[in-house]
């Protein structure tokens, strides 16, 4: 997947300024597709040049004009075509697992145990964030709109992913003690 498709996925519901789009990445899409604000702004220009977005200039008093990005019909068709294409499961690239694989050569088992505890804590914090989002936005899943159901599925995957990491860290710590 390209950043372009992640941006189109956010804009398909409603237009956003570059700033608001970057905030969306920080609080939703960014949980599973990371991009810096600079990358997002660069990509917006490319998408506009491709005709997948239009930019509406909104004058503001005492501040620079606001650029509001709208997905075009061509952009929506591109997103639909991309969604229709099968995607391969992502390859795992996890530094911690390489360290664990060779962990027996560490000067002290505590080095690995400490790192496992740090990872456990980080995943526990993210899990807590996801659970709070679930409580806030998805209490009554039977009444969700179709778009909300799809968004909820991404949150459920995040909850599952973080829960699995916490459980795995617990097992690894127990095994190595």
Shared-domain flag, residues 99 and 167: yes
Shared-domain flag, residues 79 and 100: no
Task: Return the CATH number at 71.
Answer: 1.10.10.10
Residue 52 lies in a domain: yes
- CA neighbours closer than 13 Å in the CB half-sphere of residue 134: 16
Q: Give the model confidence (pLDDT) of 81-94 as tens digits.
A: 999 999 999 899 99
Contact assessment for residue 42 and residue 101, using Cβ atoms and an 8 Å cutoff = no
Shared-domain flag, residues 129 and 78: no
pLDDT in tens, the chain (177 residues): 689 999 999 999 999 999 999 998 888 888 888 889 999 999 999 999 999 999 999 999 999 999 999 999 999 999 999 999 999 998 999 999 999 999 999 888 899 999 999 999 999 999 999 999 999 999 999 999 999 999 999 999 999 999 999 999 999 999 999
pTM: 0.86
Shared-domain flag, residues 12 and 67: yes
Number of CB atoms found within 10 A of residue 100's CB: 16
Range of the domain at 172: 95-176
Shared-domain flag, residues 113 and 43: no
Number of CB atoms found within 10 A of residue 88's CB: 5
The per-residue pLDDT for 106 is 87
**Total structural domains in the chain?**
2
Q: Which of 60, 84, 108 is the last residue of a domain?
A: 84
- CA neighbours closer than 13 Å in the CB half-sphere of residue 147: 6
Shared-domain flag, residues 119 and 163: yes
Shared-domain flag, residues 75 and 105: no
Q: Give the model confidence (pLDDT) of 117-132 as tens digits.
A: 999 999 999 999 999 9
């Amino acid at each position: 997947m390209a950043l372009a498709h992640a941006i189109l996925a956010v804009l398909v519901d409603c237009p956003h300024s570059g700033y608001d789009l970057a905030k969306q990445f920080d609080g939703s899409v960014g949980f599973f597709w990371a991009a810096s604000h600079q990358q997002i702004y660069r990509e917006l220009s490319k998408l506009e040049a491709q005709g997948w977005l239009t930019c509406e200039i909104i004058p503001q008093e005492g501040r620079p004009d606001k650029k509001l990005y709208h997905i075009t019909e061509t952009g929506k068709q591109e997103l639909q075509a991309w969604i229709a294409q099968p995607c391969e499961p992502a390859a795992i690239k996890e530094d911690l697992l390489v360290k664990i694989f060779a962990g027996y050569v560490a000067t002290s088992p505590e080095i690995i145990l400490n790192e496992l505890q740090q990872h456990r804590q980080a995943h526990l914090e993210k899990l807590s964030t996801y659970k709070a989002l679930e409580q806030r936005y998805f209490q009554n899943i039977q009444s969700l709109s179709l778009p909300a159901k799809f968004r909820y599925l991404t949150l459920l995957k995040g909850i599952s992913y973080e829960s699995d990491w916490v459980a795995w860290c617990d097992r690894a710590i127990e095994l190595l003690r």
